[in-house]
Structures are given as C-alpha cells and as structure tokens.
Amino acid sequence: MATPSLLPVVLAADNFPACAAYPSHHPDTGEVYVPFHIAPADHAARLSPVGLLRPAVLAALDGDAAFVSHRAGNAVECVTFAPDVLAGGRQAMDKAIADTAARWRAAGLFTPALAGWRDELYAIYASPRSAAFATPPRGGWRNAAFACERAACAVWGFATFGVHMTAYEGEGGSMKIWVPRRSPTKATWPGMLDNTVAGGITAGMTPRDTMIKECDEEASLPASLVEARLRNVGLATYWYITKAGFLQPEVEYLYDLPLPPRDSADYVLPRPHDDEVESFHLMTVPEVIEALHRGEFKPNCGIILVDFLIRHSLITPENEPDYIEICWHMRRRLGVGMPA
Amino acid sequence: MATPSLLPVVLAADNFPACAAYPSHHPDTGEVYVPFHIAPADHAARLSPVGLLRPAVLAALDGDAAFVSHRAGNAVECVTFAPDVLAGGRQAMDKAIADTAARWRAAGLFTPALAGWRDELYAIYASPRSAAFATPPRGGWRNAAFACERAACAVWGFATFGVHMTAYEGEGGSMKIWVPRRSPTKATWPGMLDNTVAGGITAGMTPRDTMIKECDEEASLPASLVEARLRNVGLATYWYITKAGFLQPEVEYLYDLPLPPRDSADYVLPRPHDDEVESFHLMTVPEVIEALHRGEFKPNCGIILVDFLIRHSLITPENEPDYIEICWHMRRRLGVGMPA
C-alpha cells in the first residue's frame, strides 16, 4: 500500500529549516570526521553522507584503489568510491567495502571494532537523490546503496538499524516487564540486562519481520502471538561513540508487546531459545528503574526502557527534572544516510 | 518526590556530545539571530540563551536603558539585561520585559505578533547555571527566570510551553478520535480542526494541572474522570517560524485520554464549554489522516496527531516512507532555555 507521506503535515509545524546535520568533529578531542559519500556529486549537492571517517580510517584508505580522497588544499573534504567502482554499480560497491574491511581485519587494524566480526551484512543507505540511483527510490528501504559487514559499520561511521521490543504484563502501577539477562559468554555486554527481545536488521529484512523472527529466536515467542499483539510505537536514534572513538549512529525501531492475561488460553511465557539469553525475569517498574540507575542494563537498552516508561506515563515531566533533555537525546538527528 | 534523574542512563547510549544548539541564522534568507542572555557571564559560559533576536528586534532594543547590546567589532554578539535590571532580580526583569513589550505595542511595532496580545504571562527559562540564580535550581520548573506576555514571546524568540491531549475510544482498527473544530471567531487559526484539548502553560502552572484545567474549560471533561485516566505519553518540540519571520520554538507535553466504554457508568461525551470550540466530532483514523493531508488541522495539532498515530501503531516504518525524518522533526533540539 503506497501511503502518501505525512512529512508535509509535520513540516507545517516544524517549519524552520533543519540545520547541523552530521558532526564534523568531536567537540572535546577535536578529532575531525570526513564525510564518506557514494560519489563526488553527492557531496557537491550537500546530500547526507553515508558514513563518517576518522583520521585513522582516512589514513588506512590512502592508496586503496577502490576509493578516492577529494582534497581542498591540504584537507580531505570527502571520500567517495573510485569511478570504476561507481561504474560497476551495487555489486562493485559491495565488493569494495567487503575487500577493504577484510584487508583491515587481516592486518589487525581497528581491532576493537573488527574483532566482533559477525558474518552478517547490513544495508547502508544513501540519500534517495544520490548518484547511486538512476531514479530516486522511494519507501520500502529501496535507497540501500550497498551492504557492509555488521562489525565494520562503526569503522566507516555507517548508521545501523535494529529492533527493540518490551514485553509486559498489566498496566500502570501493577505493570511488570520481562527482562532477560545476556549470556555470560556473549561477545558484547556479557551478563548485562537487556530488552525483552532485540536484534539488528540485516540487509533485505523489514523491521517488523526482523522483530517477529527475533521473538522466536531469543524468547521462544510464537509468531502467531507476536503478529496479533505486536505494536509499533516509535523510534530511538542516538549517537554512540565507543571508548576507542568509533562512531556508531544507531536507529532502533521500537515495539511493545502487551502479553495476554495469565489466565487466558494464549498466555505465553518468554523463555530462552538460542544461546544469547541466559534467563528471563519479570521485574516491577521500580525494580527496572533501580537497575537502570545501577547501570545493569546494556546502554542502548537503557535509552529504550526510558522511552517505554515515558510513553506509559511512568516517567513524567513532574517526576523527571531532565524530561526535555532526555526526550531530545533519544531522538538525535544523525545526519548520515537513512531509509527514505 | 525527588526522583533521581534518568538522564545519565540516556547519555550512556547517546554519548556523543550534543552539538548545534540554536540556529544562528535562517539558512535561506540569511537573517541573523542574536542570542538574548540574562547576563554577559551566561554568554561567556556558552549557556543556552533564553531567546533569539531578529535584526528588527535588535534595532528596536537600541537605546532601551533596560538592555545592553554587547559588540565584537561591528556585530552584536549578544543582548542581556542592563546591570541595574540584573541587580533588581526577577521583579526588575519582569518589569523590563513588560515595559518594553508594552512600548512596542503602543508604537505599533511587530504587529503580526503583538496584535494577539492575551494578558497572559508565560515563564521564560534560563539555564540553571545562569547568573540569574544564586544557586542552580533543580526540577519543578524552578529555573524560570522571568515572565513575558504570551503574544510577545515570538518577538523575543522565547520558547513557549503547552499541553495537548488526544481523547479516543476503542483501539487499533476500530479506534475513533474526538476532534474539535475551532470557533470561527478565534483570533488564531479560526475554523480549523484541533486536538481534543490543548492550551498554553501559564507561569506557575505544571503541565498536568494545566491539562486538567483545560479539559474542563474546553471540553467539559470532569476533573475526576481526567485525573483517573489521563496518561502522560511524551513530548513534541518543534521550531515554528511565522510568515512574518517570527521565531516560535515550542514544547508541547503530550497526553492520551482513553475514554471508558460507551456503556460504562463513567462514560462522558466531550462538549464545548467556553467559546474556543465550535463543536466536537468523533472521527475514524482514516478520516483523521485524510483531514491531515488536506491541511484541515492547525499545524501543531498535525504534528501531535502524527505522534499519536505512531505511538498507536497506526503509522509504521512499513507504511510511512519518511518515518525517521518525521520522528526527528517532532523532537527538534531547540537550544533555548528549557525547564531543567
């Protein structure tokens, strides 16, 4: 169904031009980020870049025949694919990104990021007006320009996309939330608390399909129950930067799963299925808030639980002094390529 | 109840420093905006300004003894209260703002904005670290630095704060939303569709108290019903600029009111009370979306209804191509003084 976009409705109220797209440098360290574009024309047209390159990555790309650094005087203004890669289209771009990442990994470069190699491809989005597309694609994630190994995205500063779901029982004061503890053997954030079900969106999957698949894989929640009760409730976007300084702009599509009453025929208990989750616990809202304050949740699960508690009237302007600042932080304009 | 802030939890994920606070100029017209601060020290400390001044307002302030324009070479870097106003504290600031706005109004200046004079005072917030405060205030809207007539806020580029509520019956596909039509005699947006109940927050009121009061005044909804069922669900922030170029950064605290079933004892029909609303209509979701596309809603009601439809799983990433861009536009970082 091709629904006409409601963006004009939103722009009627938020009608001051949006400014300040991507960060050009780190405000504290001064480290400069160079935009990575598909083609020089995209940079000239001031389109959003597909990624942001740190100085070390810029240096590692020097001499790589698949990429061109465009200079203005001494400074690199942007990096793009080389003309022959562009001429080869999507397949050639996929290969250029894959070959370069593989070479870096073999050379032991960017270890903190590339050590988590997953053999999982993520779609990287260019502006619909990019030279990558003969005609501007519209909707349905058709402006994916190429793919990149999940673990390498942070090296290029590519945005990644995921889904997060909160399953809960009851409402208001009696609400309880299903919280898993991550397996102690997981490569990232072992042993920490997590959202009920979450996962990354691999190339070619929609958010909703990813969510339904992960519900089965991570929590043994049957597709029939999830499809009937899953509610899409918004978005969290945030700029995460790793301790080593890698940029990980992230978009999480958010879902609620209100579970049926315990005494109903279709009640289902979330339980671990694959080896990602150690155990599930049903926590009260005060218990969740305490665990958040103690830093027991994986960081991006914290941001998403806070969004959940705001939407469910459990964090309010009256009980949270930083209400407005919090709301802004969970909807950061990322300024790099997005589905559109 | 002094709840500890969850901001650190959110900053654990959105941990790249926030940049690009307020717009320094209009990207298209080039019109420059000069920050209005309480005191020069606030500007030196790079705190958020309390407002943004257009060139015409800057010119009108020239020679006003209550204000000082601080220059760097030929350009005005910021405007602040004059030292004797600062020494007089909040009362003196209130008076300086009131006197200046009254003088402008008497002189017929800034007519499109000041013509809507309301005799209604709004609180203007400075950074908690502003020189306006002996010790940094915390929570409970205690960082209100002074007050300003509602209609004059756009002249100074002060942020204004309001509440918006959507009352609805049913859920999912069978949901219906109560939509009022504004009185044809209203000064602003006469005859347009509106959110069920909305209003501005006057100095000294909390969002929730304002909401409960407006529910009675605009829709005859009794406080007992509203207090029991009102749900705080988030925030919309947007940069509105009028045709005449006045800046109106706005924050709207958002509420849902799920009405009880029709056959229950506490069901209540919204009906006009004061002269602001002509009539209420119960609209289906497709009817609301059609009216949004036709531009029948007052602009900021459009943005808030889109947020409602997103939270209720009626606008999804699968049916809205501009989903991410829309989510960003309804949570613009405003960069001027906010409650904190």
- For residues B92 and B109, membership in a common domain is answered with yes
> Which of B237, B253, B328 is nearest residue A317 as measured by Cβ atoms?
B253
- For residues A165 and A99, membership in a common domain is answered with no
How close A96 gets to chain B, by Cα (Å)?
A: 28
State the burial class of residue B83 (Cβ atoms within 10 Å of its Cβ: 0-12, 13-18, 19+).
exposed
- For residues A241 and A116, membership in a common domain is answered with no
- CA angle at B56 for the pair B50 and B60, rounded to the nearest 5°: 80
- For residues B191 and B321, membership in a common domain is answered with yes
Distance CA(B95)–CA(A292), nearest Å, equals 45
Q: Which amino acid is at B16?
A: F
Sole residue written with tokens 């200079």: A71
Is A12 inside a domain boundary?
A: no
- How far apart, in Å, are the Cα atoms of A64 and each of A101, A115, A211, B141? 11, 22, 38, 56
| Closest chain A residue by Cα to residue B12 | A299
Distance CA(B340)–CA(B323), nearest Å, equals 29
| pLDDT tens, residue by residue, A190-200 | 999 999 999 99
- For residues A120 and A200, membership in a common domain is answered with no
Is A2 inside a domain boundary?
A: no
The whole-number pLDDT of residue B1 equals 41
User: Residue A5 — very low, low, confident or very high, per pLDDT cuts 50/70/90?
Assistant: low
The whole-number pLDDT of residue B19 equals 61
Inspect the interface and report whether the beta carbons of B326 and A7 lie closer than 8 Å: yes
Give the tokens for residue B107.
């002189």
Distance CA(B124)–CA(B21), nearest Å, equals 17
For residue A238, the Cα-to-chain-centroid distance in whole angstroms is: 8
The whole-number pLDDT of residue A4 equals 72
Predicted confidence (pLDDT) at residue A19 exceeds the cutoff of 70: no
User: Residue A306 — very low, low, confident or very high, per pLDDT cuts 50/70/90?
Assistant: very high
The whole-number pLDDT of residue A23 equals 87
Residue after which a domain boundary falls, among B128, B156, B184? B156
Is B17 inside a domain boundary?
A: no
Please report the DSSP string for A120-182 in residue order: -EEEEE--TTSTT-SS---STTTTEEEEEEGGGHHHHT--EEEEEEEEEES-GGG-EEEEEEE
Is B285 inside a domain boundary?
A: yes
Mean pLDDT, to the nearest integer, of A161-183? Answer: 95
Distance CA(B7)–CA(A325), nearest Å, equals 8
- For residues A146 and A169, membership in a common domain is answered with no
Give the tokens for residue A36.
């990575």
Predicted confidence (pLDDT) at residue A125 exceeds the cutoff of 90: yes
Q: Which of A3, A5, A10, A310 to mutate to test the interface with B (most CBs of B within 10 A)?
A: A10
Bridge partners of B251?
A: B161, B237
Inspect the interface and report whether the beta carbons of A321 and B139 lie closer than 8 Å: yes
Inspect the interface and report whether the beta carbons of A234 and B326 lie closer than 8 Å: no
Residue after which a domain boundary falls, among B156, B177, B207? B156
Number of other residues whose CB lies within 10 A of the CB of residue A112: 13
- For residues B146 and B166, membership in a common domain is answered with no
The whole-number pLDDT of residue A16 equals 67
> Which residues, numbered 210 to 249 in chain B, qualify as contacts with chain A under a Cβ-Cβ cut-off of 8 Å?
231-235, 237-241, 247
Domain total in chain A? 2
Inspect the interface and report whether the beta carbons of B306 and A6 lie closer than 8 Å: yes
Distance CA(B295)–CA(B125), nearest Å, equals 33
Is B284 inside a domain boundary?
A: yes
The whole-number pLDDT of residue B3 equals 58
Distance CA(B314)–CA(A122), nearest Å, equals 27
Q: Is B83 left (phi over 0), alpha (psi -120 to 50) or beta?
A: alpha
The whole-number pLDDT of residue A173 equals 87
- Interface predicted TM-score of the whole assembly (ipTM), two decimals: 0.94
Inspect the interface and report whether the beta carbons of A237 and B328 lie closer than 8 Å: yes
Percentage, residues of chain A above pLDDT 70: 95
> Which residues, numbered 24 to 83 in chain B, qualify as contacts with chain A under a Cβ-Cβ cut-off of 8 Å?
26-28
Inspect the interface and report whether the beta carbons of A13 and B302 lie closer than 8 Å: yes
Predicted confidence (pLDDT) at residue A1 exceeds the cutoff of 50: no
More confident call, A321 vs A230: A230
More confident call, A93 vs A294: A93
SS3 B248: strand
- For residues A55 and A118, membership in a common domain is answered with yes
The whole-number pLDDT of residue A255 equals 98
Listed residue (B207, B218, B199, B206) closest to B279, CA to CA = B218
The whole-number pLDDT of residue B20 equals 58
Is A6 inside a domain boundary?
A: no
Characterize the bridge pairing of strands A160-169 and B247-258.
unpaired
- Return the exposure string of B21-37: e unless at least 16 CB atoms fall within 10 Å of the residue's CB, then b: bbbeebeeeeebbbbbb
Residues 6+ apart with CB under 8 A from B146: B90, B93, B94, B97, B123, B124, B132
Distance CA(A178)–CA(A269), nearest Å, equals 9
SS3 B271: coil
CATH number at residue A36: 3.30.750.160
Percentage, residues of chain A above pLDDT 90: 77
Mean pLDDT, to the nearest integer, of A309-319? Answer: 94
Predicted confidence (pLDDT) at residue A2 exceeds the cutoff of 70: no
- How far apart, in Å, are the Cα atoms of A317 and each of B150, B163, B201, B236? 21, 11, 13, 13
Inspect the interface and report whether the beta carbons of A12 and B322 lie closer than 8 Å: no
- Could you tell me if A263 lies within 8 Å of chain B, comparing CB atoms? no
For residue B127, the Cα-to-chain-centroid distance in whole angstroms is: 17
- Could you tell me if A289 lies within 8 Å of chain B, comparing CB atoms? yes
Lowest pLDDT segment from A6-10, A101-105, B299-303? A6-10
Residues 6+ apart with CB under 8 A from B319: A1, A3
Distance CA(A78)–CA(A131), nearest Å, equals 15
Is A17 inside a domain boundary?
A: no
Inspect the interface and report whether the beta carbons of B302 and A138 lie closer than 8 Å: no
The whole-number pLDDT of residue A3 equals 58
- Could you tell me if B90 lies within 8 Å of chain A, comparing CB atoms? no
The whole-number pLDDT of residue A18 equals 63
> Which residues, numbered 149 to 188 in chain B, qualify as contacts with chain A under a Cβ-Cβ cut-off of 8 Å?
none
Instruction: Work out the mean pLDDT of chain A and round it to a whole number.
Output: 92
Residues B96 and B61: beta-carbon distance below 8 Å: no
User: Residue A10 — very low, low, confident or very high, per pLDDT cuts 50/70/90?
Assistant: confident
Q: Which stretches of chain B score pLDDT less than 50?
A: 1-2
Give the tokens for residue A117.
């190699």
- For residues B316 and B173, membership in a common domain is answered with yes
Residue after which a domain boundary falls, among B94, B126, B156? B156
Is B3 inside a domain boundary?
A: no
| pLDDT tens, residue by residue, A242-278 | 889 999 999 999 999 999 999 999 899 999 988 889 9
- For residues A177 and A104, membership in a common domain is answered with no
Sole residue written with tokens 């500007």: B43
Inspect the interface and report whether the beta carbons of B292 and A208 lie closer than 8 Å: no
Distance CA(A152)–CA(A111), nearest Å, equals 10
- For residues B136 and B47, membership in a common domain is answered with yes
- For residues B191 and B209, membership in a common domain is answered with yes
Distance CA(B197)–CA(B218), nearest Å, equals 6
B285-293 and B299-311 are packed helices; what angle lies between their axes, rounded to 10 degrees?
Answer: 140
The range of the structural domain enclosing residue A106 comes to 26-156
User: Residue A140 — very low, low, confident or very high, per pLDDT cuts 50/70/90?
Assistant: confident
- How far apart, in Å, are the Cα atoms of A72 and each of A67, A68, A69, A79, A287? 17, 13, 10, 12, 55
Inspect the interface and report whether the beta carbons of A332 and B18 lie closer than 8 Å: yes
Predicted confidence (pLDDT) at residue A221 exceeds the cutoff of 80: yes
- CA angle at A146 for the pair A142 and A151, rounded to the nearest 5°: 120
CATH number at residue A245: 3.90.79.10
Residues 6+ apart with CB under 8 A from B290: none
Bridge partners of B79?
A: B36, B69
